């Protein structure tokens, strides 16, 4: 506020001196169609501060949030291996994002993939100047430095493949997981993110609404999870041996960190510290509370007791479902989306997988895939023109869902099959029996 | 001398310990154990997957006592560990042939 006041005063007192700057100010920021270098004075301090915060919150969702959420749900012999998957995924995707991922996802290109101009973060700059500094911005976020925008998007790219691990927990080789995450991040995540979020992407041009990643992150990860549990097969002893979670305290802490971090995910997707960010935060909270209760009561009625794992799972299902809608709908619509997600995901995670007989160990597909689809479709139903300024339709949303499901499933399936035929996907029977902690990492917890 | 072994509900341990020290017992050994009797196990449900827990957690206490104390000890455990529901546990009494206090080498009566 003070800064703005000072700038206005200076512009009024010394119009001649500030004429070139004032002229630059008149150029509409929305005109950018590709990353560009601009004067640092056009950066919003408020937006930048919130996006720096959001970036840290989203990273916290993956480590330690998701790591603990999943780590508590596996058997004790696999807990370190499960934590390791989230942590290693964070490190690998960081480097891939630098290599080419960011460029393929968020620079202009064709309808399916972006260009290579930002490979190795080429052109991402901040140049200090005594009079005025300059820096690069993304055309998708012209009020914050490109460094902050690409970091924010990097944390999304990190958590998405980490989510898939819930489906293949307890049985994938660590080496195979590293290869799978790398290939998937570049061949599935980057193109889908480009198609949905970059203005030259064909789904973006078609009007598909995905506020914070319902299709790009959750449907995408859920479907890849389904492909991986189909290719890998069931865990040894599935359905006959005891596989109950070893420590639901960790799971509840993880779910809570996800919940808090999700405000960075959804309210951060406004890419500004503004009214839309506030609305996204509110709808996120409403949907999560409603979904947690939706799952809890479904379970209470059908199985007799309201469980801790149930309420935590319901909260995550609500967070997932409100993700595509959060900046586009009002709080009452968010409650409806939440209840729908809680009830439908409950049946997906408890009945659907038993009917079809696949072993989605920690329900990556049941919660993220199904929750993402529920949210993406309901976004088309509940989108408010007043809030979003956009028109949505169920049919357009269906196009986005179908594209992600088909593309994501086919490419994930192919990557997994190739890994299986070359270096092998699954640990040996002996390693699986012994537990991945000791057999893959040489460590164990007591 | 006798060795009195009792399997009780874990939450009754404090009451039992107090009752038997009141009748003059100097020391006991406590172990956490699992087992089943007439009390069946229970079912746990995680995201729709049901697991039957067949062995119920119990607490085992072992007390070496002089013959004169056997009845008061049995009586104390019986009264304090009882809830009247299945799963209250059992008391077993064994002959004890020798006791040695390791620190001093004392035997039998003076070692208890």
> Does residue A3 register a pLDDT over 90?
no
Taken in order of first residue, the domains within chain A and their CATH numbers are 40-430 (1.10.3430.10)
What values do phi and psi take at A188, rounded to 5? -115, -55
Chain B touched by A161 (CB under 8 Å): no
pLDDT grade, residue A5 (50/70/90)? Answer: very low
Q: Which residues on neighbouring strands pair with residue B92, listed in sequence order?
A: B5
Nearest chain B alpha carbon to A352: B48
Interface of B with A (CB under 8 A): 44-49, 51
ipTM > 0.85, yes or no: no
Give residue-wise pLDDT tens across range A313-326: 999 999 999 999 99
Report whether A161 contacts A184 (CB < 8 A). yes
Indicate the average pLDDT of chain A: 92
Cβ of A313 and B51 within 8 Å? no
HEC string for A173-235 = CHHHHHHHHHHHHHHHHHHHHHHHHCCCCHHHHCCCCCCCCHHHHHHHHHHHHHHHHHHHCCC
Residues of A (322-341) whose Cβ lies below 8 Å from B? none
pLDDT grade, residue A18 (50/70/90)? Answer: very low
CA-wise closest residue to A412 among A195, A173, A234, A227:
A227
Report whether B95 contacts B25 (CB < 8 A). no
Question: Which of A170, A350, A357 is most worth mutating to test chain B (most B CB atoms within 10 A of its CB)?
Answer: A350
Report whether B58 contacts B9 (CB < 8 A). yes
Q: Which CATH number fits domain B2-111: 3.30.70.120, 3.40.47.10, 3.20.20.80, 1.10.101.10?
A: 3.30.70.120
Cβ of B47 and A313 within 8 Å? yes
Cβ of B48 and A349 within 8 Å? yes
Domain boundaries, chain B: 2-111
> Does residue A23 register a pLDDT over 60?
no
According to the model, what pLDDT value does residue A403 have? 95
Among positive and negative, which fits the CA dihedral A255, A256, A260, A263?
positive
Give residue-wise pLDDT tens across range A140-164: 999 999 999 999 999 999 999 999 9
If you ran DSSP here, which 8-state letter would residue A101 be given?
A: I
């Amino acid at each position: 506020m003070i800064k703005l006041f000072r700038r206005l005063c200076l512009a009024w007192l010394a119009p001649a001196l500030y004429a070139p700057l004032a002229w630059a100010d008149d150029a509409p920021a929305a005109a950018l169609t590709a990353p560009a270098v601009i004067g640092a004075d056009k950066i919003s301090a408020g937006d930048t501060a919130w996006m720096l915060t959001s970036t840290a919150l989203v990273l916290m969702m993956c480590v330690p949030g998701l790591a603990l959420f999943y780590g508590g749900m596996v058997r004790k012999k696999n807990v370190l291996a499960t934590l390791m998957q989230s942590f290693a995924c964070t490190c690998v995707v960081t480097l891939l994002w630098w290599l080419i991922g960011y460029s393929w996802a968020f620079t202009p290109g064709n309808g399916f993939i972006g260009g290579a101009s930002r490979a190795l973060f080429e052109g991402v700059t901040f140049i200090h100047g005594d009079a005025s500094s300059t820096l690069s911005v993304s055309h998708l976020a012209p009020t914050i430095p490109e460094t902050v925008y690409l970091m924010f998007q990097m944390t999304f790219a990190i958590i998405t493949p980490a989510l898939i691990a819930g489906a293949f927990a307890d049985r994938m080789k660590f080496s195979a997981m590293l290869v799978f995450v790398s290939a998937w991040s570049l061949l599935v995540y980057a193109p889908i993110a480009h198609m949905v979020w970059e203005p030259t992407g064909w789904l973006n041009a078609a009007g598909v609404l995905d506020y914070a990643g319902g299709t790009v992150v959750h449907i995408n990860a859920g479907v890849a999870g389904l492909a991986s549990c189909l290719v890998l097969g069931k865990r040894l002893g599935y359905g006959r041996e005891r596989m109950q979670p070893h420590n639901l305290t960790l799971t509840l802490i993880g779910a809570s960190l996800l919940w808090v971090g999700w405000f960075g995910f959804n309210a951060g997707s406004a890419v500004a510290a503004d009214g839309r960010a506030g609305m996204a935060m509110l709808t996120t909270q409403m949907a999560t509370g409603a979904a947690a209760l939706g799952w809890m009561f479904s379970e209470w009625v059908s199985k007799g007791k309201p469980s801790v794992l149930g309420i935590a799972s319901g909260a995550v299902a609500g967070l997932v479902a409100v993700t595509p809608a959060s900046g586009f709908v009002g709080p009452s619509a968010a409650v409806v989306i939440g209840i729908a997600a809680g009830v439908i995901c409950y049946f997906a995670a408890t009945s659907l997988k038993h009917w079809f007989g696949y072993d989605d160990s920690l329900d990556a597909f049941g919660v993220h895939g199904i929750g993402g689809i529920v949210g993406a479709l309901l976004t088309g139903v509940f989108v408010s023109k007043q809030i979003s300024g956009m028109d949505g339709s169920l049919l357009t949303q269906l196009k986005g869902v179908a594209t992600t499901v088909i593309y994501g499933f086919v490419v994930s399936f192919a990557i997994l099959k190739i890994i299986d035929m070359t270096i092998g996907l699954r640990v040996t029977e002996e390693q699986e029996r012994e537990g991945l902690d000791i057999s893959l990492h040489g460590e164990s917890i007591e | 001398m006798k060795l009195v072994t009792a399997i009780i509900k874990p939450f009754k341990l404090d009451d039992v310990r107090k009752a038997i020290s009141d009748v003059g017992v100097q020391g006991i050994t406590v172990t956490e154990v699992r087992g089943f009797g007439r009390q069946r196990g229970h079912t746990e449900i995680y995201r729709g997957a049901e697991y039957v827990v067949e062995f119920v957690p119990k607490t085992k206490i072992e007390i070496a006592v002089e013959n004169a104390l056997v009845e008061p000890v049995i009586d104390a455990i019986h009264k304090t560990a009882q809830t009247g529901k299945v799963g209250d546990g059992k008391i077993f009494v064994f002959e004890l042939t020798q006791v040695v206090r390791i620190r001093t080498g004392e035997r039998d009566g003076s070692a208890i």
